[in-house]
Amino acid sequence: MELYFLGTGAGMPTTERNVTSIALRMFDERGTFWLFDAGEATQHQILRSPLKPSKLEKIFITHLHGDHIFGLPGLLSSRSHQGGTEPLDIYGPQGVRTFIETALQLSQSHINYELRFHELHEGVIYEDEQCTVESGLLDHRIESYGFRMIEKPRPGKLKVDELMKLGVQPGPMFGKIKQGIDLRLDDGRVIRASDMISEPQPGVIVTILGDTRPCQGSLRLAKDADVLVHEATFMEGLEDLAETYYHSTTKQAAETARDAGVGLLVLTHFSARYSEENPLVEEAKVIFDNTVAAKQHQLVPIRKY
């Protein structure tokens, strides 16, 4: 599981950065990817990436500002021509369905797969055997949400060394142990499967926030997250501007990461006034050391940090 950033800019695209879109790649776990926001030209960014629109399973929209949704109609239309036939779930605030359906209708765009819309609310919005997704309100000029993806515990690992010491060689017998089946050896000894598998491994927690000022909603969604993706539109010293436009500074993002006890802070949504991300990261590191900047077309591994 890993994050792939398709756009890291705020407000409007620049020559250095496209506007917001983040892919959560789950090729090993599900063979698919999820998309968080789809600013203008997201489909162009996907063409320059290892992502395939046919593998897009879900889209989560944080809020309805243009730099987060203007890429939706084109992406959805193109997906039909790029092998996408499976249903696509779209989670977003009230109005996202109207925006998409109006754009597709007026442009006479036809898609050959089902769109399934889910209006956001606070709490659990999706759950299956692999993960749970929660959403929560943030503090922005319009209704804006953050998302918390909680991976369920993964099965424990086979204690290979112990099994081999007992004379059990890799092969079908290993497979039975993995299935939870006890073994009876030729000499009468019984090996209990439960003794040969380690405890389940805790899943990872990933929090991706929409545009926001510092708020309790951010802290709740980010609590103990392994990876937190947080906007850092402005550098320190522009707190008044951030307050006026309902955004966060590098310092405020770092304070949220510190107070929530996260593992890794990934800064994104940078103002066009900054051509380099390093000064923003260095500011944040004063408060929260394990901070990196999101870079377009670069992966951020998701693990226990």
Is the distance from CB of 257 to CB of 251 less than 8 angstroms? no
Measured CA to CA, the distance from residue 44 to residue 6 in angstroms comes to 9
CA distance 297 to 102: 31
259 among annotated binding-site residues: no
Residue 113: exposure state from Cβ atoms within 10 A (0-12, 13-18, ≥19): middle
Q: How far apart are alpha carbons 160 and 12 in whole angstroms?
A: 53
Tokens at residue 291, please? 């901070």
Q: How many Å apart are CA 276 and CA 195, to the nearest integer?
A: 53
Residue 67 appears among annotated catalytic residues: yes
Distance CA(40)–CA(166), nearest Å, equals: 60
Look at residue 286 and give its three-state secondary structure. Answer: coil
267 phi and psi, to 5 degrees?
-85, 145
Length of the chain equals 305
Structure tokens at 260: 């929530």
Candidates 67, 182, 187, 226; catalytic one: 67
Are 58 and 117 spatial neighbours (Cβ–Cβ below 8 Å)?
Answer: no
63 assigned binding-site residue: yes
Count other C-beta atoms under 10 Å from residue 168's C-beta.
Answer: 18
214 in Cβ contact with 252 (< 8 Å): yes
Residue 269 is assigned to a ligand binding site: yes
Q: Check: CB of residue 136 under 8 Å from CB of residue 57.
A: no
Is 67 assigned a ligand-binding role in the annotation? yes
Q: Is 297 annotated as a binding residue?
A: no
Both tokens assigned to 257 = 């990461």
Show which residues are catalytic.
Answer: 67
Binding residues: 63, 65, 67-68, 140, 211, 269
Which residue ranges make up the annotated binding site for Zn(2+)? 63, 65, 67-68, 140, 211, 269
